[in-house]
Structure formats: C-alpha cells, structure tokens
Amino acid sequence: MKITQSILPIFLIAFIVGNAPVCAADATHPAAVDSTPAEQIDPELRMLVKQAALETDSFPDRFDGEVWLADMSRRLATRLPQAGYRVELLKQVHYEATRAGLSPEVVLSVIDVESNFNQYAISSAGARGLMQVMPFWLKEIGKPGDSLFRLQTNLRLGCTILKYYLDKEKGNLHAALKRYNGTRERHYPLKVDKVLRTRWFRQ
C-alpha cells in the first residue's frame, strides 16, 4: 500500500510520543498459553525461551515498518485510540514476530482472539497480557521480577512459544495454534484464521 507524504509524518510523530497508559481489564478470552506445569516443559522449548529473553535488537527495517504501521494502525484505531501507544505496540509486534520467524499478521490475529489487545488482560487460568502467557515462564527464563504486562516481555515469550509449536507441527498453523491455546479448543484456530482473513490480512 502506498502512503502519501501527508500520512507519514503523523506516524513519525507517533513514534516520539511513546507509550500511553491503558486501563486494566479482564481478558475476553479464557485461553492460556501452554498450561503444562513448569516441571513438564519440553527442555528444548525452555532453552528457546531463555535465549529469546536475552535478545534486544531494535526494529530492523524502518521504512518497511512505517508502511506496515500506517496500514495496521488505521485498522486498530477504533480499539486503541491513543496513537502513540498504538504505534509502539504495532512496532513491537512487527519486530518480535519477525525475530521469531512468524508473520506479524498472524501474531496480531492471535492477540485479537486471546486478549482483544488488552495489555493488562488476565484469564481465568492466570495467563497474562496481550498473548496470554502463563506466569511460570518468567521463572523459567530467570526473570521472576519481570512483568508479563510489559509489551516486549509478553510479545517475545508469546512469539517464541508459538514459533516452537509451529516448528513442531511442521508448519501446520492450525495444529500449532491448538497447542498454543493450551486447552486444545477445536474452534480456536478457526477464530484466529477468521480475524486473519477479515481484519489483519496483509495488503
């Protein structure tokens, strides 16, 4: 999608504005990321999550990011009206998804279904944040004092876990989504697929 000169400065300003606070609310979806007890976690997944927690590189391609941000920010504006926070969230989603080898649009779709873009969502199972990550993961990566309500922490762990399941399922996204959801809900992948096709598709 081509962006006019009048649109780009708006989003460049939004980058400078920074995060804006949002109100805490309950999760609209009770799903939890991998409800398996910590002692039963696959050692390979534990290693990948720990490694991901150490990576802190910045957004790799600024121009492509601005093009993508302009499009996705327009779609998200009705639910997240504060431009500075909205663009920062999208920027981090784009980077963390790309870092993990996932489609940013798929990650947006997962967030849509899991938390409805509520940064402070908490499910009935105790999963937290945008991608509904279980708290025990913070202990697994040696950062028990960190917060799953922090954008980068939640997105990095969520994307790493989803990519792990996608690899284990040999690229079968529906099967990976069932494992990510934890409850193995039959309709969960269909919910994600629907919002991906109707709301978060790439132009």
Which pLDDT band, with edges at 50, 70 and 90, does 59 fall under? Answer: low
Q: Map residue 55 onto helix, strand or coil.
A: coil
Cβ distance 150 to 167 under 8 Å? no
Q: What residue type is 169 in one-letter code?
A: E
Residue 140 lies in a domain: yes
Number of folded domains in the chain?
Answer: 1
CATH of the domain at 105: 1.10.530
Q: What is the pLDDT of residues 62-120, one digit of tens each?
A: 666 667 778 898 899 999 998 889 888 988 998 899 999 999 999 999 999 999 999 99
Domain containing residue 77: 8-17+26-34+48-198
Torsion of CA 158, 151, 122, 196, to 10 degrees: -60
C-alpha 188/C-alpha 89 separation (Å) is 23
- The amino acid sitting at 70 is A
39 occurs within a structural domain: no
**Rounded to an integer, what distance in angstroms lies between the CA atom of residue 164 and that of residue 44?**
9
Residue 40 structure tokens: 């039963």
Binned at pLDDT 50, 70 and 90, residue 49 comes out as low
Collapsing DSSP to helix, strand or coil, 33 comes out as: strand
Looking at the domain assignment, is residue 70 inside a domain?
Answer: yes
- Domain membership of residue 43 (yes or no) is no
- Model-wide pTM > 0.75: no
Structural domain contains residue 54: yes
Task: Name the most confidently modeled range: 1-5, 42-46, 109-113, 135-139.
Answer: 109-113
Tokens found for residue 150: 């922090």
Nearest-angstrom CA–CA distance, 149 and 45: 21
Query: What whole-number distance in Å separates Cα of residue 36 and Cα of residue 177?
Result: 15
